[in-house]
């Protein structure tokens, strides 16, 4: 692959978007490569967590590629938007736990790909924004739908209409990122979380994520029913037997 680096480790993977000269901007080729990598990881039973980050020290991802978008007509723009949306939905609906390690600018499509991850960590130089209005367009890779669910409607609309960037510290206050670290420590801290996740039950992680993803989409009673079903199904997997037996035997569970 030209624009993505994939580093599979024990139990987790690190995916790096690697177009540093364009601040890791997402062109069509990169979106397709991300799809390929996400699908590959999905099939890999040894991987339970994925860290998504950007190359270099300046940007996580500076957005969709403006040079590719500049000459699109409406039909092409629809297709480009759909491609980005589909790519990010693969991440959001994945059975693996995605951690965005935001190491610099996360603008437009860069902010949006981080929103499709299960959690976000940031370096203290990170800046988040959806500056599309300054280009005469709107966020087209899921930002109008996912950002309000994470930071609330008022804050999301402020970011949309002003195009302002928000610093890592404010992003943390707004609940957009879970924690902020120095750039030097960011990846190590993300790896600590990935390693912890990798020790837990695959079924329980993916089942819990599936149920939580529905929390803001469906009625409470339907969500509770889904939770009951996923909970019950866990009892048909060996992980439940091992997890509970290990607790009772006062030892660490060993999940396959």
Which positions from 82 to 101 touch ligand CAA by CB under 6 A, shown as an x/- string? --x-----------------
Cα 211 to the center of its chain, rounded Å: 17
Q: Are 155 and 119 in contact (CB under 8 A)?
A: no
Rounded alpha-carbon distances, angstroms, from residue 89 to 67, 96, 213, 224, 236? 24, 13, 11, 23, 28
Pairwise CA distance, residues 24 & 168, whole Å:
19
Active-site entry in 132, 172, 241, 242: 132
Site string for ligand CAA, 117-156 (x = CB under 6 A): --------------xx--x---xxx-x-------------
Establish if 105 lies at the interface with ligand CAA (CB under 6 A). yes
Strand, coil or helix: 36: helix
Q: Which position's Cβ is nearest ligand CAA? A: 108
User: Which residue, 168, 23, 227, is CA-closest to 109?
Assistant: 23
Q: How far is CA 99 from the centre of its chain?
A: 6
Which span sits near ligand CAA by CB under 6 A: 22-30, 153-161, 199-207, 210-218? 22-30
Question: Which of 31, 49, 54, 63 touches ligand CAA (CB under 6 A)?
Answer: 63
Residues that bind ligand CAA (CB under 6 A): 22-23, 25, 62-67, 84, 105, 107-109, 112, 131-132, 135, 139-141, 143
State the catalytic residues.
112, 132
């Amino acid at each position: 692959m030209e624009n993505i680096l994939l580093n599979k480790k024990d139990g987790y993977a690190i995916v790096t978007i690697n177009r540093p000269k364009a601040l890791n901007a997402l062109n069509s080729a990169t979106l397709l490569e991300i799809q390929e990598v996400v699908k590959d990881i999905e099939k890999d039973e040894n991987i339970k967590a994925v860290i998504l980050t950007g190359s270099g020290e300046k940007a996580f991802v500076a957005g969709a590629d403006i040079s590719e978008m500049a000459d699109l007509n409406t039909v092409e723009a629809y297709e480009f938007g759909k491609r980005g949306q589909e790519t990010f939905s693969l991440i959001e609906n994945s059975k693996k736990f995605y951690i965005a390690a935001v190491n610099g600018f996360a603008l437009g499509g860069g902010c949006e790909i981080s929103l499709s991850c299960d959690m976000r960590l940031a370096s203290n130089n990170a800046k988040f924004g959806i500056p599309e209005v300054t280009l005469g367009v709107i966020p087209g890779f899921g930002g109008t739908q996912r950002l309000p669910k994470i930071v609330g409607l008022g804050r999301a609309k402020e970011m949309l209409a002003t195009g302002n960037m928000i610093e890592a510290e404010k992003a943390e206050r707004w609940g957009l990122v879970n924690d902020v670290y120095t750039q030097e420590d960011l990846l190590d801290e993300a790896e600590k979380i990935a390693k912890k996740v990798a020790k837990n039950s695959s079924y329980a992680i993916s089942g819990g994520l599936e149920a939580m993803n529905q929390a803001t989409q469906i009625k409470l009673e339907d969500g509770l029913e889904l939770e009951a079903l996923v909970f019950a199904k866990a009892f048909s997997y060996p992980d439940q037997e091992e997890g509970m037996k290990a607790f009772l035997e006062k030892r660490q569970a060993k999940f396959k």
